[in-house]
Amino acid sequence: MAPYIEAIHEATDAGLVESDTTSTSPDSCNDVVTCDASVGDSINNDAQLAIYNAVSRFLPPGNEHEAFWWKLVGRHFAIMMHEADYSIERQIELLQFHRFRIIPLLGPRPTSSTPWFRSRVAPGAGDGTPIGYSWKWSVGGGKPTLRHYMEPLGELTGTPADTLNEVAPKHFLMQLASDFRQTDLDAFWKYADHLRPSALDAGTRGKYIASAVLLGLEMPAESNRVDVMAGLIVKVPDQVKTLLPSIIPSALKDVFGDNVSLASLEVAREFIDNDPHLSVNGTMAVDCVSKEKSRFKFYTMNTGTSFEHIKDVMTLGGRKHVASKVLDQLQELWYGLKGLPSDYPVSSELPGFKLSSGQNGTAQVGNTSGLSFYFDLHPKLSLPDVKMQVDMSKHADSDWAAAAVVVDFLRRHGQARYAQAYLNVLQSLVCTEELKSKRGILAYFSFSIKHDEVEIKRIDVMSIMNA
């Protein structure tokens, strides 16, 4: 589906926002999408929003911006929780968390085709909206876990006082640490000191201004906690080049001490240095828990698309044992997303894809392949964990086609319990006709290998102004 500009036009047609700078009443927000019979009779919109409507009855409406985002994001998340089978108590708790913690940090309601501050949530796939949703499947058929990826916005965001938007996200992190006692920011502050963008001259600063801190919020069904992940984005090229050889090692030593084991980092660095398709892209993240549990991750760009290349990365060139049946399942997913026959050569690049790489074994600028990988590090690990991430804007004919591949895969492998629930979410946000003809609601699919199974780590629902 089209990015922000078309999203705003479509939202205008639906009565969500005006196309000029004149504000409308928040009451013009749509409740949920109403489609024709092709959606299916199994979706009960009244049931999906019953808890939301009950909670909303006596909540303060807030200002017009908060009322807009509550009616948009609050309803979307209520639908997701209902379909993911969250308990009534958990739904009420998380809806209140949204209303009083998340909604006030989403900034002014959109009033034009250009966002007043273009968020880096889901860079390359998002539409500039400061929040996106994620549905994480559970290995073994348990309840899905819902996540948000967001960039808190504040009064100083985008001004000369805070061009990188660091103030609002860091303030929100402090609030989360106060709300949820398992949230530990000690490691994050130390990583941030090493990894934040830095440029001494005004010319470089002006060229590479962008979001510096993003947040991931994971809200498990069977818990009263919210797990926090903080992402850091480096935009100065000279700093990106030194991440693996010097900056990340220094940061790990600062967190864990000078004697920290860097084994998993060294394996990742050696592998990337010798792979002609991979290079780091300057995006990193850390789990905001105690350092004993906190993982540090960094993301890569990639130009290879053959399954042989995917297998090589996921197994770290054979260093990591992965059962053949699991690799077969991963191939099944990759070929399914691309509509390839099962006998398509594993060594061949995707049809129509032109392989390219930069000099000195580094990938060219920009992740044109739409396939990337990220590496999880921790001193207790001798090898990093590797996950693959697929940009749906480059690897699906439509959002519905992509969703169908995953749902069919789950059904074939005995994990069908929440397959229809996931489709219900999509069909409640966007008409089936649009899901089948456009793409853009789905941003990324992420896959990992866990307990000898392919784990569909997450499916990110972005471009929420289209929903």
User: In this structure, what are the phi and psi dihedrals at residue 72, rounded to the nearest 5 degrees?
Assistant: -90, -65
Most confident of 24-38, 72-86, 157-171: 72-86
20 belongs to a structural domain: no
User: Is the residue at 363 inside a domain?
Assistant: yes
Answer whether residue 54 is part of any domain: no
Q: Is residue 293 part of a domain?
A: yes
User: Residue 297 in contact with residue 284, Cβ under 8 Å?
Assistant: yes
pLDDT of 161 > 50? The answer is: yes
* Domain extent for 247: 118-419+443-466
How many independent structural domains does the chain possess? 1
Contacts 24+ apart (CB under 8 A), 225-229: 225/180, 225/182, 226/97, 226/176, 226/179, 226/180, 226/183, 227/182, 227/287, 227/288, 227/289, 228/173, 228/176, 228/180, 228/183, 228/287, 228/288, 228/289, 229/285, 229/286, 229/287, 229/288
Q: How far apart are CA 90 and CA 262, in angstroms?
A: 40
Rounded to 5°, the CA angle 112-115-121 comes to: 145
User: Any residues with CB less than 8 A from the CB of 11 and at least 6 apart, and which?
Assistant: 17, 110, 465, 466
List the one residue out of 65, 71, 28 whose CA is nearest residue 52: 71
Can you give the pLDDT at residue 28? 36
Q: How many residues does the chain have?
A: 467
d(CA 458, CA 298): 17
Q: 444 by DSSP, 3-state: which?
A: strand
Q: Which of 30-44, 184-198, 299-313 has the highest mean pLDDT?
A: 299-313
The answer as to whether 31 is a domain residue is: no
Q: What distance in Å separates the CA atoms of residue 197 and residue 234, rounded to the nearest whole number? A: 5
Q: 209 pLDDT band (50/70/90 cuts)? A: low
Contact criterion met (CB below 8 Å) for 265 and 259 = no
Burial profile 410-445: b = 16 or more Cβ within 10 angstroms, e = fewer: beeeebebbbbbbbbbbbbbbbbebbeebbbbbbbb
Indicate whether 40 belongs to any domain: no
Residue 63: pLDDT band (50, 70, 90) is very high
Tell whether 26 is covered by a domain.
Answer: no
**Is the residue at 9 inside a domain?**
no
